[in-house]
Amino acid sequence: MIALADAAATDALGRHIAAALVGLDSGLVVSLAGELGAGKTALARATIQALGHDGHVVSPSYTLVEPYPLKGRTFYHLDLYRLGDPEELEFLGVREIDTGRDWVFVEWAERGTGFLPTPDIELEMVYAGTGREAHASAYSDAGKRFLYELGEAT
């Protein structure tokens, strides 16, 4: 569990996640779970910026997928909150993403079941008093390596 007292703490976690991602020699699929407003998009934005994106980071609420070329890879930010049917992901080219090389962060991943790659990590953002908490669970060897790298980055 990682306590996130405020927006600055969420930004700091994004920087730590970016450092951990750069330390990996593989891609990673991350499910960002949590209620509306829990900080999923803010965390993805902070991570993307910490990886070196200097432009505006838009929420993919309407486009569903936003790719960012970073560090010789692509960071895909997906927000499936408005996804009508998981089959829509087929038309967006989600199956062509190289999850062995690229980083994929998915908000509302459960809405894409059957069309998304299996997550390596789930980061659940939950309300905790006036702040938030992030809970991480690893589901693969890559996920375990990421959590190790994240521990080294913090």
Nearest alpha-carbon partner for 138 in 39, 61, 24: 24
From the number of C-beta atoms within 10 Å of its C-beta (0-12, 13-18, 19+), residue 36 rates as exposed
The single residue listed with the structure tokens 């809405």 is: 111
**The model's pTM:** 0.92
Backbone angles phi, psi at 79, to 5 degrees: -130, 110
Backbone angles phi, psi at 74, to 5 degrees: -120, 135
CB 110 within 8 A of CB 81: no
Query: DSSP code of 63?
Result: T
Per-position pLDDT tens, the chain of length 154: 889 999 999 999 999 999 999 988 899 999 999 999 889 999 999 999 999 998 888 877 777 889 999 988 999 999 999 888 888 888 888 888 999 999 999 999 999 988 888 999 999 999 998 899 999 999 999 999 999 888 865 5
The pLDDT assigned to 9 comes to 93
Structure tokens at 117: 């790659």
The pLDDT assigned to 59 comes to 79
Please give the span between the terminal C-alpha atoms of the chain, in angstroms, as a whole number. 13
Domain ranges (residues) in the chain: 2-153
Select the CATH number that applies to the domain covering 2-153 from these four: 3.40.228.10, 3.40.190.10, 3.40.50.300, 3.40.50.10190.
3.40.50.300
